Amino acid sequence: MDTYAVVGNPVTHSKSPFIHARFAQQTGKIMHYIPLLAPLDGFRQTVLDFRKNGGKGMNITVPFKFEAYALATRLTDRARAAHAVNTFRFEAEEEILGDNTDGVGLVRDIEINLNFPLAGKQILLMGAGGAASGVILPLLQQQPCLLAIANRTPEKAVILQQQFASHGPIAAGSYQDFAGQRFDLVINATSASLHNELPPIPPDLFHGTALAYDMLYSSRLTPFLELARAEGVEHLADGAGMLVEQAAESFLLWHGIRPETRIVISQLRDELRRHAP
């Protein structure tokens, strides 16, 4: 049976195995999809061992998306633009195709599932890691009025700004640099929620914000979404829809079929509720 995996550290929280099992059921594909914990200094070896043992493809999660970019021997255009990879397809002659499906997953979730058009909007993206860099180009392609990137280490946000400056209006800095500005959409692409922490968000940042979006998914509100709610943001969303949409795009790359996502998003929400702590 063909085997696929999600590799990360941590990885036990990942619902990718659940989602791919639903996609396989829906499309009649016979496949096995497992979580794979890689040591922080052992990503490359973990991937190569998995492929040697017959693995066909992988999803890559926190914190390995930049290392995955470096390990790929061939890249899709969107992965090359992102400098980050979340999907591998193992090919003949030791080739590893690297793709990035995070951006298309996020944009589909926001524009289609949440019915929130991005054109003309002021967007604040928090974080400058693998997830953030994967979504910048697809967000800019929707023609927002501004895409601002705030990061705890502002230098990393500035590097992303320089990388994507030719694709649209983009600003970068520390969280404090954006205090007092109004954003229609605030996206948390940091891994702070994974550790139940909050990025250093300045007071009143959510003033005028219509949608707060946390890429992390959970059965309850993350600290970021709690704060957004307390500051009066009407629409709150976690990353469950993005996760399913990016997974569907990976499934398409591996199997040539795009599965239905809405039903799987609702199955994932039920699953998260069932396993709520």
Ligand X SMILES: NC(=O)c1ccc[n+]([C@@H]2O[C@H](COP(=O)([O-])OP(=O)(O)OC[C@H]3O[C@@H](n4cnc5c(N)ncnc54)[C@H](OP(=O)(O)O)[C@@H]3O)[C@@H](O)[C@H]2O)c1
Q: What's the count of helices (H) and strands (E) in the chain, helices before strands? A: 10, 12
Q: Which residues contact 170 (CB under 8 A, 6 or more apart)?
A: 136, 140, 146, 147, 148, 149, 161, 164
Q: How far is the CB of 214 from ligand X (least distance, A)?
A: 8
Q: Which residues contact 91 (CB under 8 A, 6 or more apart)?
A: 74, 97
Q: How far is the CB of 264 from ligand X (least distance, A)?
A: 13
Residue with Cβ nearer ligand X (67 or 231): 67
Residue with Cβ nearer ligand X (92 or 124): 124
Binding mask 36-75 for ligand X (x = CB under 6 A): --------------------------xx-x----------
Whole-angstrom CA distances from 238 to 43, 68, 174, 186, 224 are 27, 25, 23, 12, 10
65 flagged as catalytic: yes
Please give the Cα distance from 45 to 88 (Å, whole number). 15
Residues 188-207 that bind ligand X (CB under 6 A): 189-194, 197, 199
Residue that has been written with the tokens 């694709």 in this structure: 167
Tell me: does residue 269 bind ligand X (CB under 6 A): no
- Strands 87-90 and 96-99, by their bridges, are antiparallel
Q: How far is the CB of 246 from ligand X (least distance, A)?
A: 5
Residue from 29, 156, 167, 229 touching ligand X (CB under 6 A): that is 156
Phi, then psi, of 211 in degrees rounded to 5: -135, 130
Q: Which of 15, 52, 56, 65 is catalytic?
A: 65
Nearest to 148 by CA among 237, 231, 164: 164
Q: Total residues contacting ligand X (rule CB under 6 A)? A: 30
Residue with Cβ nearer ligand X (31 or 68): 68
Residues 125-144 that bind ligand X (CB under 6 A): 127-132
Residues 83-112 that bind ligand X (CB under 6 A): 102, 105
Tell me: does residue 29 bind ligand X (CB under 6 A): no
User: Is 54 exposed, middle or buried (CB count within 10 Å of its CB: 0-12, 13-18, 19+)?
Assistant: exposed
Residue from 25, 153, 162, 266 touching ligand X (CB under 6 A): that is 153
Cβ atoms 170, 147 nearer than 8 A: yes
Tell me: does residue 246 bind ligand X (CB under 6 A): yes
Which residues of the chain form contacts with ligand X (CB under 6 A)?
62-63, 65, 102, 105, 127-132, 151-153, 156, 189-194, 197, 199, 215-217, 239, 242-243, 246
Query: Which residues are part of the catalytic machinery?
Result: 65
